[in-house]
Each structure stands twice: as structure tokens, then as C-alpha cells.
Chain A
Amino acid sequence: MSDRKDSAILSVRGLKVHFDTSQGVVRAVDGVDLHVKTGETMAVLGESGSGKSVMALAIMRLVPIPPGRIVAGEVHFEGRNVFQMGANEVRRLRGSTIAMIFQEPMSSLNPAFTVGEQITEAIVLHQGIKGKEALDKAIEMLKLVKIPSPEKRVHEYPHQLSGGMKQRVMIAMALSCRPKLLIADEPTASLDVTIQAQILELMKELRRQVGTTTLLITHSLGVAAEMADRATVMYAGQVVEVAPIRDLFHDARHPYTKGLLKSVVNMKEGTRRLDVIPGAPPNPTRLPEGCRFHPRCAKADKRCCTEEPNYVSVGEGRWVRCWYPET
């Protein structure tokens, strides 16, 4: 996976993040490689517990330690190793160069401070402007994310806003310092469908206007198809497939990705029972030997049960972690 290192704004290499729990060591992220090119939107696809959110937190060094541990790996942002930065340097990066939006807009904003106070906080910190000027900037950001009467809303508290409005505020906050990389962790998962569409539309429009590189973490194939240029599929803490988004939908190679695609409703094919991937994701404290997916894979043979596959190139910019990528 070395061919795109040069153009990558963000490179995650061999990242392992483990958590010590009373049930044992949870290998949440267990050898993840990820390369995001400047200007693109990279989707990270995976079901709950596949380690995608932990990976996102690790990029910003926000994994709580303890119980978390960064066991191995590097995160390079614009060529600099984030894991080797001092605490102050990382803080300067957070919010200004790399910004993050979270899944739960309801709980992601502090209930005790006004929207304006929370947006201006980052502006004051990273851009050195204060008072009225910072507030004007906050209002401008609220306008950008299409919040009606922003001059009034800026003085309101989170509980006075709807879920969709809160997520707009989160986006405004994240974009307020013009970050180079935006990490959006399930930005629409907790919103209802119409609001979801509005937020996705807003994010697309902002991407056209601002041109921020985006790492979009989602479990929804629909959201990935709508938003992303490329996708990385994660399973049980590992990357199983990387492909441009069109290739992924038309010609997925990993059995897990194929299974995911088959489990989506497709009205064109008429009514049929949805396919499901048999079994359940493995217990993260007792991951299977060999290929992590083998207990649920129809094509698994002896080798899959004992030996862990490595990445195999299967075409231009396409990688898959499987012993039988051609079938």
C-alpha cells in the first residue's frame, strides 16, 4: 500500500489500539492502514465494534489512556508523526488543522454554554481574534451551515435547538478554523431520514465551497455511496478492503464486503428476502485465529483458519485482505 504515500495528507500505518478491560484485552483496532489523499472524501465502512470510531479518536490522540493503549503504529499528518508530537503541539493541531464531528449531536455540545460561546472558543484559541469579532465569525459560520436567524441562535443554549440544528452547530464549530482534515464520525446516524439528507447535502455543498479533505466514518453503505470518493472497509479491528467507491459497489472482492452489499434493500430487483451474513462479529477479546472473517465466510478453507492473510493488490488503487481475492 505504498503507492499513495506521497499524495496522502493522512497516513495511518499498522495502528493497534487495545483496551484493558475486566473481560480481558479488547483489540479494538488491530493493525489498520489508511491513506487519505488531499481533497478526497474517504469513507471508513464497518459495523458497530469494527474499530472505526476508536481509529478516528486515535488519529487525534483522543483515545482515553488508560484503559486504552496505543500498542503499535504511526499516524502521519502532512508528513509529521502525530504520535511523536508534544501535548501542546497536538492541541494546536486539534480543532484548527484537524476537526471532528461526532455521532450524537445531542450530547456532543456542552449543555451549560451557549452555541456562540462554544463556537468562539475554538476561534479565539486558534485564530487569535476576540470578543465581538469572534462572535461575528461564529454568526458567519452559523450562516454558512444554514441556520436561520443566526444572530439570535448564537445566544441560545443547545437544549433550545433540534437535533439537526445541533449537528449543524457541530459542523459550524468544526469548520470554524478552516481545518485541512475533517473527521466525521457517523455524522447522521442519530438523525431521522429527512434531516440526514439535509445534513449530507450541506456537507457536500460545504466540501465544494471549502474543499476540506474528509474522513467519513459510517456504517451506512448509502451514506458512503452518496458522499465518498473511496472507501476503506473494516472488520474486527482490521482493514479488509480498500477501493474507489464505484469499484466497491460494482466489484467487491472481500467476502465480507460482498455480504454487506447483498444485505442492502434493492427495489429494482423486486421483493426478496434480504441476504444476511451468517453469525455475528467476533468477541473483541477473543478474536479468531487466521483470517478474522473465516468463521462467517462461505469460502473459508483450512488456510483461512490458521494463517492471517495480508493485503493483496487487485487492481489500480485496490487492496483486499483475503487469501482468495480473485473469486
Chain B
Amino acid sequence: MLRYVFTRLIYTVVVILGVSLLVFVITHVIGNPVNVMLPLQASEEERAQLKHQLGLDKPLSTQLKEFLAGMVRLDFGKSWWQQEPALQLALRRVPATFQLVIMAFTVAALISIPLGIIAAYRPGSIIDRFLTTTSLVGVCLPSFWVGLLLVITFAVKLGWFATSGYGTYRHIVLPVVTLAILPAGHMAQIMRFSMLDQLNQQYVTTARAKGLDEATVVFKHALKNAATAVLTMGGMDLGRMLAGETAAVEMVYAWPGFGSLILETIARQDFPLLQASVFVVAVIICLINLAVDLSYGLFDPRIRY
């Protein structure tokens, strides 16, 4: 177990290094921050001066060496736009995103998992057909579009919630709902499928033949076996939400998380801040994956580390 965790942590370092290198190469090859930072009419001299100031005039290999040397010390330099250590700026945005993602994920799980179980218990029933259709729709809807629709309906027309911003329940309901739709659809589908599969297993008949009541048969015997599939999907969704979905949703609702931060830094070509944000996201996702992989053992005794 400890050995497994140790090996996985080494992989994590490799993955994060790879991601950072990829971002470094892409930004330095196709990016041109000087053009973004200076007005159109800026002279060649001014451009050269800024380039020198940012260290972009050095050879790419030297820049890479400096970047890696900094990364080892968790120092990504100062943000070019905000003149503050980049990692601190990125970390400051983490709590808001976590709040959003964790709430959305909890809502999604609390709705989709029970519904998936009920649907699987009575396949072909009204609840099952309702769930199968809505979950498919949920998976297909792009979140930025849903976000805009919700804003128009519930914030602009009905005035129940704020259109954007951060602070009270008026601000958080709509982004949470928007973000929860996709994982809820996924998890409901996987839960239903996996539960349906388990309920047809012979051990379920054995459990019933023992005289156990239906609740014990479904929630103890079948659910423990069906859980791993949902866990996998949930872990993937959590990662997907943190790395991509939040960016769109945070932009729509002007939510001050690191999803919107990454989009802003890409637009401004703020390399240090972008590197720091990507680093933070990569670390979080690697840790989530590790946690998911470790928790399989709780449900399936056949898995050993």
C-alpha cells in the first residue's frame, strides 16, 4: 500500500513535469505577450525593451532552465500583470472554485445516485424512462449555454438570483446548478447501468434466499459491488469539472475561481501566472485520481495495492 502510494506520487511528479513542459513550449512558441501588453502603436524599441525586461529575449533553452529551476522551488516568478508571486495568486483562487465544484458535485451525487438505483430496481418504469432521457439530455448540454439560459430565466426575468458575482446564496445557486448537470447525468447513467448489472447477479438471489429484506439486498449487497463504477466516473467528472467545466461556468457567472483565472491569463498571455495555475490544477487532479484509485480497495476486496 505505502509502496503503491509512493510509486504513484513519483508518477504524479512526472505527469506534472510533462504538463508544465507542454504549457511552456506552447506558450513560448506561439505566444507573443509583448503584443498583448503594449499598445498597437508602440515602437520597436519599446517592444525590445519589454521583451528584455520579461526575459523573453534569452535563448529558449536558458528560459526553460530558469523555469525548471524555479518550479523545483515552487517559484513561478511574479505575475506580469499583477506584480505578485504567481503561485500565491493562483492558490488564492482555489477556495472559490472548490466551493463551487464540491457543492455541484454533492448536489449531482445526491440526486443522481438514488435516482440511478431506483431506475435500475424497476427497469422500464416511468422513473427509469424519465431518468434515461433526462440524463442523456444532461450529458449533451453545453454548460456555457445552459448557464446563459439560466441567467436569462432566473436572474434577468424572474429576478430570483444574481446574474453574476460571488458572496451570497443568490450568487451560488445558478453556477452550482449549471455545473452539476453534466456529472449528474453521467453518474445517473453509470449508477443505473452498474446497478442493473449487479441486481441480475446470482448472489442477489442468494441474498434474497437468505431472507434478507429488499433494502439490505439492494443497498448493502448490490450497491457495494456497483460502487466502483460510479466512483470511477465520479473521479473523472471531478477532474473534468476542475480542469474545464468550471472555466466556462466561472466566466458566465464571473465567479472568482481559478477556472476564470486560467482563461484570463491565457488571454493576457501572463506566462508565470498561467504556469502556476496549470501547476495547481494538475496537482489537484493527480491527487483526486490517487484518492479514487486508493478507495477502490474499500469496495472491492479483490483489489490489492
Q: B202–A108 contact, CB under 8 A?
A: yes
The B-contacting residues of A in range 108-124, CB under 8 angstroms, are 108-114, 121-122
**Complex alpha-carbon distance, A96 and B201, angstroms:** 22
Q: Does chain A have a CB within 8 A of B207?
A: yes
The B-contacting residues of A in range 28-64, CB under 8 angstroms, are 57, 60, 62
From A91, A107, A113, contact of B211 by CB (8 A): A91
Which chain B residues lie closer than 8 Å to A122 at the CB level? 210-211
DSSP majority for the B interface?
helix
Q: B302–A173 contact, CB under 8 A?
A: no
Q: B302–A111 contact, CB under 8 A?
A: yes
Q: Could you list which residues of chain A lie within 8 angstroms of chain B, going by C-beta atoms?
A: 57, 60, 62, 91-96, 99-100, 102, 104, 107-114, 121-122, 125-126, 157, 159, 170, 173
Which chain B residues lie closer than 8 Å to A93 at the CB level? 211
From A57, A100, A125, A173, contact of B212 by CB (8 A): A125
Q: A100–B301 contact, CB under 8 A?
A: no
Q: When A and B form their complex, which 10 residue pairs have the shortest distance between CB atoms, in order from nearest? A: A95-B211, A95-B210, A94-B211, A107-B202, A110-B203, A112-B224, A157-B301, A100-B209, A122-B210, A91-B211
Complex A-B: 16 CB contacts under 8 Å: A57-B205, A62-B205, A95-B210, A95-B212, A107-B201, A108-B203, A108-B206, A109-B206, A110-B206, A110-B224, A111-B225, A111-B302, A112-B221, A112-B301, A159-B302, A170-B206
Q: A110–B225 contact, CB under 8 A?
A: yes
Q: Does chain A have a CB within 8 A of B45?
A: no
Q: B209–A159 contact, CB under 8 A?
A: no
Q: A111–B301 contact, CB under 8 A?
A: yes
Q: B201–A92 contact, CB under 8 A?
A: no
**Complex alpha-carbon distance, A91 and B201, angstroms:** 20
Q: A110–B209 contact, CB under 8 A?
A: no
Q: Does chain A have a CB within 8 A of B46?
A: no
Which partner residue on chain B sits nearest A157 by CB separation? B301
**Distance from B290 Cβ to chain A, minimum over Cβ atoms (Å):** 22
Interface contact tally, CB-CB below 8 A: 71
The A-contacting residues of B in range 189-209, CB under 8 angstroms, are 201-203, 205-209
**Distance from B6 Cβ to chain A, minimum over Cβ atoms (Å):** 26
Q: Beyond A104-B202, A111-B301, A157-B301, is A96–B225 a contact (Cβ under 8 Å)?
A: no
Which partner residue on chain B sits nearest A110 by CB separation? B203
Which partner residue on chain A sits nearest B220 by CB separation? A113
**Complex alpha-carbon distance, A92 and B211, angstroms:** 6
Q: Beyond A62-B205, A102-B202, A104-B202, is A111–B300 a contact (Cβ under 8 Å)?
A: yes
Q: Does chain A have a CB within 8 A of B299?
A: yes
Which partner residue on chain A sits nearest B210 by CB separation? A95
Of the four ranges (under 10, 10 to 19, 20 to 34, 35 or more), the interface on chain B belongs to: 10 to 19
**Distance from A167 Cβ to chain B, minimum over Cβ atoms (Å):** 12
Which partner residue on chain A sits nearest B199 by CB separation? A64
**Complex alpha-carbon distance, A45 and B275, angstroms:** 73
Q: A121–B212 contact, CB under 8 A?
A: yes
Q: B224–A113 contact, CB under 8 A?
A: yes
Q: Could you list which residues of chain B lie within 8 angstroms of chain A, going by C-beta atoms?
A: 201-203, 205-213, 221, 224-225, 299-302
**Complex alpha-carbon distance, A182 and B300, angstroms:** 31
Which chain A residues lie closer than 8 Å to B302 at the CB level? 111, 157, 159
Q: A94–B203 contact, CB under 8 A?
A: no
**Complex alpha-carbon distance, A261 and B209, angstroms:** 33
Q: B225–A112 contact, CB under 8 A?
A: yes
**Distance from B259 Cβ to chain A, minimum over Cβ atoms (Å):** 37
From B202, B209, B221, B300, contact of A95 by CB (8 A): B209
Seed contacts A110-B225, A114-B301; 18 additional CB < 8 Å A-B pairs: A62-B205, A62-B209, A95-B210, A95-B212, A100-B206, A100-B209, A107-B203, A109-B203, A110-B203, A111-B300, A112-B221, A112-B299, A113-B221, A113-B224, A122-B210, A125-B210, A170-B206, A173-B206
Which chain A residues lie closer than 8 Å to B203 at the CB level? 107-111
**Complex alpha-carbon distance, A106 and B202, angstroms:** 9
**Complex alpha-carbon distance, A90 and B289, angstroms:** 45
Q: Beyond A111-B300, A112-B224, A112-B301, is A60–B206 a contact (Cβ under 8 Å)?
A: no
**Complex alpha-carbon distance, A111 and B222, angstroms:** 10
Which chain B residues lie closer than 8 Å to A121 at the CB level? 207, 210, 212
Which partner residue on chain B sits nearest A125 by CB separation? B211
Which partner residue on chain B sits nearest A94 by CB separation? B211
Q: A94–B209 contact, CB under 8 A?
A: yes
**Distance from A141 Cβ to chain B, minimum over Cβ atoms (Å):** 13
Q: A91–B212 contact, CB under 8 A?
A: yes
**Distance from B208 Cβ to chain A, minimum over Cβ atoms (Å):** 6
**Distance from B227 Cβ to chain A, minimum over Cβ atoms (Å):** 9
**Complex alpha-carbon distance, A62 and B301, angstroms:** 28
**Distance from A44 Cβ to chain B, minimum over Cβ atoms (Å):** 17
**Distance from A14 Cβ to chain B, minimum over Cβ atoms (Å):** 24
**Distance from B184 Cβ to chain A, minimum over Cβ atoms (Å):** 25
Q: A102–B205 contact, CB under 8 A?
A: yes
Q: A94–B301 contact, CB under 8 A?
A: no
Which chain B residues lie closer than 8 Å to A111 at the CB level? 203, 225, 300-302
Which partner residue on chain B sits nearest A107 by CB separation? B202
Which chain A residues lie closer than 8 Å to B206 at the CB level? 100, 102, 108-110, 170, 173
